Structures are given as C-alpha cells and as structure tokens.
C-alpha cells in the first residue's frame, strides 16, 4: 500500500515536472552594456527562483561577435554575477557554477544560425527526455536590427505546437507616432500581440509597481483625497547626475554608442515619453475594480491618455548641459561649428481634462548632469487648515498645518532606497507586510522639507532590481508590467505634437551639477511653463541691440477714419482684453447683460487665453457668447471656431450654459444643410435675445484677402439685404461656412477688428486706401450704423 502511494506521488511529481517543461532563453545583444549590467543578472535570478520548482532552463547568449570573443565576454559576466544577500559563499559558487553550465554563447546572424539554434534546442529537449514549454527571446539590440531578427525567429526559430514564444523588446519604440506605428506594424507581421513584451524598466521598479496596489489597498483613505478637490499638484521626477553618454551611474565602456542614441532622441523621448508617462497614467487613471487584471488596467490607462490635454510649445522648458555639444562633436565626429539642439533637460506641464483632475498641474521633469540622482512621484495635497497654536505644539500625526504628501520614492536620493512615504497627518497606509517594512528612523534626515519622522515610511523587505522583476514577469506571463501596442501609440499621440513644435527650439545651456544653481528652476501659470530666471543676455542688452517691447508705447492713430490702437502683440492683446472687459462691465451695469460675438481663427486665441487667465472682474455670469462665424464641421472638431473658444476660454471661465450660443451648423447629423434652416434659427435666436439685434460688441478679424467673419470677396451673400445670418462659401477648407451678415455686424454698438502678424501687412496697407467696396474686400464694408469701430493692429501688421 505504502509502495503504491509512494509510486503515485512520484509519478505525480514526475508528471508535474514534465508539465512545467523546458525553457530556452535567448538573449540577443548578450555582450552589450544592458545585458552585462542587468540582464544576465536578471536571468540568473530567474534561474534561482524557478529552477527548483521543476522547470529546466538553458540560456543562450547571442550576438554578432565571433564565438571566441563572445565566449570571453560572457565568461566574465557570468563570473561577476551576485547571489542574494543571505546566500553562503560556497552555495553561491555552486549556484553560479550550475548557471554557467546551462549558459552558452553563440553567434546568431543568418536565418541558418536561427534554424541551427532551433534544431539544437529540439535535440537537447529530446536527449534529456524533456517537454519544451517555451522560448524567450530578449532583444537587447538597437531597433534597426529588430525586423531582421523578428523575421528569422518567426521563420526559423518558433517552438513547436504546445510551446509558447515570448519576445521582450527594449526601447526606443520609434521616434514619433509615425515611426512607432511603422515599427509596430512590422513587428505585428511577425509576432502576435500576446507574444510581445515591450519593456519599460520603470514598470519593474518596486515602488512604481506598487502604485496601483497601494491605491487599491488604501481605497478607503484615498477615495476622498485622490482628486482635484484635494491634490494641489503632482510631481513626477527623474534627476540624474550622469551625462548622456552613460547608461546609468555605474561606469560603462564603451559608451559612445549611447551618445549617438541620445543625440537622436533627447530627454523627452528617452525618459518622459515612456517612464514618466507610464507613472503619470498609474497615478491618474481611474482605479480598476480588479487591479491585477492586465486588460482592465490597460483600458483604464487608455482612458487616462484620452483625457490628457494637448501640449503646446509653452508647456515645456528645455535645457542642455554645456559640455553636451562638445561631447557630440567629439564622439560623433561632427565639425567644429556644430551645435546640438538636443535637450538633456526638460520640464513639462501636463493637464488632465477630466472631472477628477481638471486644474491639477502634473509636472514631469528629467535631466542629465543635474545636482543629484533621484526619482520620485510626489502628490502634494492642498492645505486648507489654519492652526492657531504655535508650530512648536504641532504634532506630526495630528497637525493639519504640516504639509500633507504621498511620495512614491523610486530610488536613490538622500534616502538611498525605494520607499513609500505618507505624511503622518494623512493616514496610516496599508502595505503588504510580507514584502514591505517600516523604514528605520534616520535622525537628521529631511525629505521634501520635513524630517523622515513626519512620514509613515515603508521600504521593500528585499530590494530587487527592475530587470530581474520584469524577467520574472515575462516568465509568468504577467503582461500588465509591459507596454502594449495601443498603450505605446497613445503615448506617442500625446508627445509627438510637442516634439514637433520644439524641434527647432534652442535649449537653455546649464553648467551641470551643483553649479546649475537656480538656472533650471521653472514656474507655471495656466497652461504655460517658463524658466523662473530670465537669461542674463536679455536683462543686459548689448550695444546696438534692437528695440524691445517696452521701448514702445501703445500707439493711438486713425485707420480708415476710425480709431486705431497699435502695439506689440502682448500689449495689444492686453489692451483689447481690458477694453472688452470695460465694455462688458458697462453693458451689464446698464442693461444687466453683455452680448459678445466672437470670431474664430488663430489671432483671437491669445485674447481668449488672456481673458481666461487675467480678468477676474469680467462679468461672465451675465455675458452671452455668440459666434461671428463658424465652419461647417461638428462643434467638437478641432477646426470648429466654437471648439477654439471652448478650449481656450469657455473651459476656464464660468459662463452659464444657457448664455452660450454656438452656431447651429450641425443639425440632424448634417452640416449646414439649407433645409435645416440653421442660419434662420440663429437669426431668430439673436432677434429674441439681443435687444434690437444689436450686439454690445462684435470681434472680427481680417483675412489676407480682405475677408471678415465668413464673408468672402467675390461672393455677395451676406453683404446687404435683410438676412441676419447667412450660409457662405469659403475659398479655403472647410468650404462651407455660416456667418453674421454685414448689416447685422453693423448694427452692433461696438466692433473691434483684431489684425496681427506680418502676413497681414499687405492687406492692411491696401485696405487703408480703398473706399467702401465690400464685394472686393468685405472688411471695407464694416462700419457700424451708429456704433463705434476700433482697429487693433500689432506693429507687424501696421508697420511691417
């Protein structure tokens, strides 16, 4: 009986072993920097963790180097591997020896080489009486090599039926959205999505991997805190001391390959587009019910991406350490006069337009050659308390007056290890006690302005390297730690427009290290971010330097016999905004409301932004907003004038919904169909709400062809007659338009025409000379019957 049960147990055991099977790991680029520093160690860890559980392994280091050279490098790397801290030296030597026995170097270049590898694996499996479970190919090679390798694996080295294939890929995954898409399509022709593991090693960092579980385990405490009502700002920071030629802090040789990579990518593509963006989504996403479901996490991430407000040039500041250009000239053999524009430092202000985060600044910042090496995510909460007693009586876990913050301290810095910190005056966090422990007190250590003792601070019980963790996740098919194609493309969609707009931007030079002083400090307001200190050369103008804006006063003159106000763009916009506000206040005082009709196009954007951010006395609650013209596209289309108004003004001010009057260009799911009578409907609305159909103020622009609103030359519609609102045709896309008619515009109490930029110079000169010829130049027909017309022109348009 006993023998029988032993036999059964033995059989079960053998069966389990058989089920687990043999795994081949092929490390491509096995002699490169990354492999030598992290990947071999990660594979060793995998072996230590899993070999005892019945799996069998072999590790094939591959590269293009000759077998002899490759073997030499690999032998050195294997010799330098380290065992977990508590392993006795003799045991460690034994384990390393076992691992070395299972590891080999081979040259993989041609399709035949891949086929030979496949045959070797099959022969080994057969000889050892094993079952093949799967193959992992880890691509630690530059992306230009991806396609060839992928083709070879797909055609000659896939495992047989019943065994899995997993390929791990290292960034960069493209240079912008288009190239990322191309690479994704190419890889997609060789591998299925499920087979690909795109690595972002920050997702393997213990603290980053803890963000979602932390939010999940502390739902109760965080539910009331994790939103715009309580969060003041979020900082996502990765500071480095090393320069761009170095892979990490540890010395590397040769490193010149890194400079050529860096010169092509720069800090935004190298760090912000991937590591910091991934962290941003982990903090900002709505928390899935089940945080361990990869699919749910991905869907919530994608939703967070969709809510990111588009970035503009003004959303970022760029820097470059002074020695960088020389480094590029030296290492990449560039001519003496070469100056690189590649940023090695960037700060970017991100906003998330959803109910949870609207208005909360997310600051992403990273740079090389800074004063310290540290990475963290800091969530700083608003402080609304007023404490009466003096500070000496404040107790860290009670005083609401002390700063309240949660910090995911990713690593390095003063603390020197990863940790999760929660201000004691917030709540005591819950973390899994098997893997996280309280950090021992460190008297004198201050973090983020407070002594360590002000925080509940937890560190991992066993610190693990990110690559070891990710390699283990590949083995366990934990796809939530990797970047899917959709996720990757969503990130590029977000970053590409900013990268394009910054392509020719000259970064601010900084000396590097502690000497940077305050040079890189930046501050934000609204959507914009700027260095706090003006560069010296602007503060002290040299001899003969050109006029600066402050050298000019706002100029008052006449244009077409009406008042003209001219200034530099910024002052002009400020003046126009002030005048609009004064008109609004006056109208509200007299009539209880203010009817303002606004045009679209690019010139008024700065005005909208000015009104949105600098005019707190504006009577928005009593303002009715109308459109002077509209393009026949849906209102949410980026081309729609209403959309411009929405993005740059409406979402920042409080105009009651019922006072907003978009033009009805999209009725019954059709655009500007005559039968839908949109123009008549708008005219009726104006007649019903605006006394005498006389707007308090109409803001117009002037096109380079002399058009205004959507009244175009050589098209008589809307120039005279009874109709208040008309459908017109534009010579430019989108061709169909809706516009206030000239007679309606001229009924206004006040009309302001805003003309900006050198491109308007020619038409401005021409129109100054012509008489009343609206058929040729519709703008010349603007002359209010009894109201006032004022021209606002910047110097470039007026003086050229």
Q: How far is the CB of 177 from ligand BG6 (least distance, A)?
A: 20
Q: How far is the CB of 440 from ligand BG6 (least distance, A)?
A: 24
Helix/strand number for the chain, H first, E second: 25, 33
- 118/135 Cα distance (integer angstroms): 10
In order of 561, 684, 702, 709, 751, the CA distances from 785 in angstroms are 15, 21, 20, 18, 11
Cβ atoms of 505 and 313 within 8 Å: the answer is yes
Binding test (CB under 6 A) with ligand BG6, winner from 33, 132, 240, 796: 240
Distance CA 222, CA 381 (A): 12
Residue 41 near ligand BG6 by CB under 6 A: no
Give residues with Cβ within 8 angstroms of 214, minimum separation 6: 408, 420, 429, 431
Determine contact, residues 566/593, Cβ cutoff 8 Å: no
| CA count, 13 A, side-chain hemisphere, 323 | 14
Residues 263-282 that bind ligand BG6 (CB under 6 A): 270-271
Tell me which DSSP letter residue 781 carries.
Answer: G
* H or E stretch at 302: helix 294-307
Tokens read off for 516 = 């940077």
Beta carbon of residue 504, minimum distance to ligand BG6 (angstroms, whole number): 23
Rounded (5°) CA angle 667-668-670: 70
For ligand BG6, give the closer residue by CB, 346 or 402: 346
Shortest spacing between CB 278 and ligand BG6, in angstroms = 11
142 vs 569 by CB, closer to ligand BG6: 142
Beta carbon nearer to ligand BG6, 125 or 271: 271
Comparison of 279 and 789: residue with beta carbon closer to ligand BG6: 279
Helix axes 177-188, 146-156, angle to 10 degrees: 20
By beta-carbon proximity to ligand BG6, the closer residue of 106 and 378 is 378
Q: Which residue is nearest to ligand BG6 (CB)?
A: 248
- For ligand BG6, which is the closer residue by CB, 365 or 779? 365
Name which position in 110, 248, 545, 768 contacts ligand BG6 (CB under 6 A).
248
Of residues 131 and 373, the one with the C-beta less far from ligand BG6: 373
Least distance to ligand BG6 from the beta carbon of 174, Å? 14
Residue 622 annotated as catalytic: no
CA distance linking residue 9 with residue 26, whole number of Å: 34
CA distances from 329 to 252, 256, 336, 777 (A): 20, 12, 7, 55
Residues contacting residue 404 through CB under 8 Å, at least 6 positions apart: 380, 381, 383, 423, 425, 426
Helix (H) or strand (E) holding 645: helix 641-648
Shortest CA distance to 782 belongs to which of 759, 757, 756, 748? Answer: 748
- 256 binding ligand BG6? (CB under 6 A): no
Sign of CA dihedral 775, 781, 785, 787: positive
For 686-700, the three-class secondary structure string (H helix, E strand, C coil) is HHHHCHHHCCCEEEE
Q: Give the shortest CB-271-to-ligand BG6 separation in angstroms.
A: 6
DSSP string over 162-227: T-EEEEEEESP--SSHHHHHHHHHHHHTTS-GGGEEEE-GGGGSHHHHTHHHHHHHTHHHHHTTSS
Binding mask 358-397 for ligand BG6 (x = CB under 6 A): -----------------x----------------------
Sketch the per residue contact string, 316 through 355, with ligand BG6: x for CB under 6 A, - otherwise: ----------------------------------------
Q: In the chain, what are the helix, strand and coil shares in percent, each to the nearest 5?
A: 40, 20, 35
Q: Which is nearer to ligand BG6, 376 or 522 (CB)?
A: 376
Closer CB to ligand BG6, 257 or 614, in the complex? 257
Q: How far apart are CA 456 and CA 538, in angstroms?
A: 46
Here's the x/- map for ligand BG6, 402-441, by CB under 6 A: it reads as ----------------------------------------
Contact 367, 239 (CB under 8 A): yes
Distance CA 203, CA 358 (A): 26
Residue with tokens 């860890």: 45
Residue nearer to ligand BG6 on the CB measure, 375 or 464: 375
CB of 462 to ligand BG6, least distance (A): 18
Residues 50-89 close enough to bind ligand BG6 by CB under 6 A:
none
Report the residue number, 234 or 244, with the smaller CB distance to ligand BG6. 244
String of b and e for 705-723 (b: at least 16 CB within 10 Å)?
A: ebbbbbbbbebebbbeeeb
Please name the helix (run of DSSP H) or strand (run of DSSP E) that holds residue 59, with its range, or none.
Answer: strand 56-63
How near is the Cβ of 628 to ligand BG6 at its closest, in Å? Answer: 50
Burial of 671 (0-12, 13-18, 19+ CB in 10 A): middle
Catalytic residue, from 275, 351, 624, 648: name it.
275
C-beta of 270: minimal distance to ligand BG6 in Å? 5
Q: How many residues of this chain bind ligand BG6 (CB under 6 A)?
A: 5
For the record, the structure tokens of 521 come out as 């400090």
Tell me how far, at minimum, the Cβ of 368 lies from ligand BG6, in Å: 7
Q: In the bound complex, what is the minimum distance in angstroms from residue 236's beta carbon to ligand BG6? A: 13
Tokens of 284: 């900002």
CB of 180 to ligand BG6, least distance (A): 16
CB of 375 to ligand BG6, least distance (A): 5
Q: Tell me which residues are annotated as active site.
A: 275
Binding site for ligand BG6 (CB under 6 A): 240, 248, 270-271, 375
């Amino acid at each position: 009986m006993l023998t029988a049960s032993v036999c059964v147990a033995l059989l079960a055991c053998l069966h389990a072993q058989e089920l687990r099977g043999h795994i081949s790991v092929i490390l491509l680029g096995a002699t490169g920097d990354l492999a030598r520093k992290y990947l071999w160690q990660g594979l060793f860890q995998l072996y230590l963790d899993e070999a005892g559980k019945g799996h069998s392994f072999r590790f094939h280091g591959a590269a293009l180097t000759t077998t002899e050279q490759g073997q030499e490098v690999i032998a050195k790397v294997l010799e330098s591997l380290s065992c977990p801290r508590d392993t006795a030296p003799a045991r460690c030597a034994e384990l390393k020896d076992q691992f070395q026995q299972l590891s080999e170097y081979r040259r993989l270049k041609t399709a035949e080489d891949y086929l030979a590898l496949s045959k070797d694996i099959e022969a080994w499996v057969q000889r050892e009486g094993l079952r093949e479970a799967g193959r992992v190919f880890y691509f630690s090679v530059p992306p230009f090599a991806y396609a060839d390798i992928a083709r070879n694996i797909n055609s000659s080295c896939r495992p047989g039926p019943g065994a899995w294939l997993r390929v791990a890929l290292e960034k960069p995954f493209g240079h912008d959205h288009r190239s990322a898409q191309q690479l994704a399509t190419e890889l997609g022709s060789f591998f299925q999505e499920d087979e690909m593991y795109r690595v972002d090693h920050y997702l393997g960092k213990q603290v980053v991997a803890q963000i979602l579980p932390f939010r999940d385990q502390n739902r109760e405490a965080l539910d009331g805190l994790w939103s715009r009502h309580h969060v003041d700002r979020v900082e996502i920071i990765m500071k480095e001391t090393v320069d761009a030629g170095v892979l990490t802090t540890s010395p590397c040789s040769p490193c010149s390959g890194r400079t050529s990579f860096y010169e092509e990518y720069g800090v935004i593509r190298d760090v912000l587009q991937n590591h910091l963006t991934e962290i941003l989504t982990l903090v900002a996403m709505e928390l899935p019910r089940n945080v361990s479901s990869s699919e749910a996490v991905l869907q919530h991430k994608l939703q967070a991406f969709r809510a990111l407000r588009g970035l503009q040039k003004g959303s970022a500041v760029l820097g470059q350490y002074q020695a960088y250009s020389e480094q590029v000239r030296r290492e990449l053999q560039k001519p003496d006069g070469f100056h690189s524009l590649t940023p090695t430092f960037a700060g970017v202000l991100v906003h998330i337009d959803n109910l949870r985060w609207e208005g909360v600044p997310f600051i992403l910042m990273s740079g090389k050659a800074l004063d310290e090496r540290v990475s963290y995510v800091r969530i700083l909460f608003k402080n609304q308390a007023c404490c009466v007693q003096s500070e000496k009586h404040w107790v860290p876990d009670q005083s609401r007056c002390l700063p309240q913050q949660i910090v995911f301290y990713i690593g390095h810095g003063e603390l020197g290890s990863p940790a999760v910190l929660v201000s004691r005056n917030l709540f005591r966090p819950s973390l899994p006690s098997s893997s996280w422990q309280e950090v021992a007190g460190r008297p004198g250590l201050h973090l983020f302005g407070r002594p360590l003792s002000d925080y509940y601070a937890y560190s991992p019980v066993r610190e693990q390297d990110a690559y070891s963790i990710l390699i283990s996740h590949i083995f366990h098919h934990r796809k939530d730690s990797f970047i899917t194609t959709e996720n990757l493309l969503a990130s590029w969609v977000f970053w590409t427009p900013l990268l394009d707009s910054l392509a020719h931007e000259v970064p601010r030079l900084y000396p590097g290290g502690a000497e940077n002083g305050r040079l890189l400090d930046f501050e934000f307001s609204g959507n914009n971010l700027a260095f706090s200190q003006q560069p010296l050369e602007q503060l002290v103008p040299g001899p003969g330097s050109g006029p600066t804006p402050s050298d000019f006063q706002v100029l008052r003159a006449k244009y077409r016999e009406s008042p003209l106000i001219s200034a530099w763009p910024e002052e002009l916009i400020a003046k126009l905004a002030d005048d609009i506000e004064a008109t609004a206040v006056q109208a509200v005082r007299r009539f209880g409301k203010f009817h303002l009709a606004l045009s679209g196009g690019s010139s008024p954007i700065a005005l909208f932004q000015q009104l949105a951010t600098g005019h707190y006395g504006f009577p928005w609650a009593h303002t009715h907003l109308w459109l002077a013209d509209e393009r026949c596209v849906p209102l949410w289309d980026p081309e729609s004038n209403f959309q411009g108004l929405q993005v740059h003004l409406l979402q920042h001010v409080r105009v009651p919904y019922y006072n907003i009057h978009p033009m009805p260009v999209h009725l019954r799911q059709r655009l500007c169909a005559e039968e839908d009578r949109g123009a008549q409907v708008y005219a009726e609305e104006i007649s019903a709400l605006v006394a005498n159909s006389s707007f308090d103020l109409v803001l117009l622009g002037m096109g380079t062809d002399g058009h205004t609103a959507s009244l175009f030359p050589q098209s008589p519609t809307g120039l005279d007659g009874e109709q208040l609102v008309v459908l017109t045709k534009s010579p430019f896309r989108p061709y169909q338009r809706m516009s206030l008619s000239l007679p309606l515009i001229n009924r206004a109490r006040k009309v302001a025409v805003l003309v900006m930029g050198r491109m308007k110079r020619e038409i401005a000169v021409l129109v100054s000379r012509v008489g009343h010829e609206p058929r040729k130049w519709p703008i010349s027909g603007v002359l209010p019957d009894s109201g006032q017309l004022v021209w606002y022109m910047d110097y470039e348009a007026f003086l050229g």
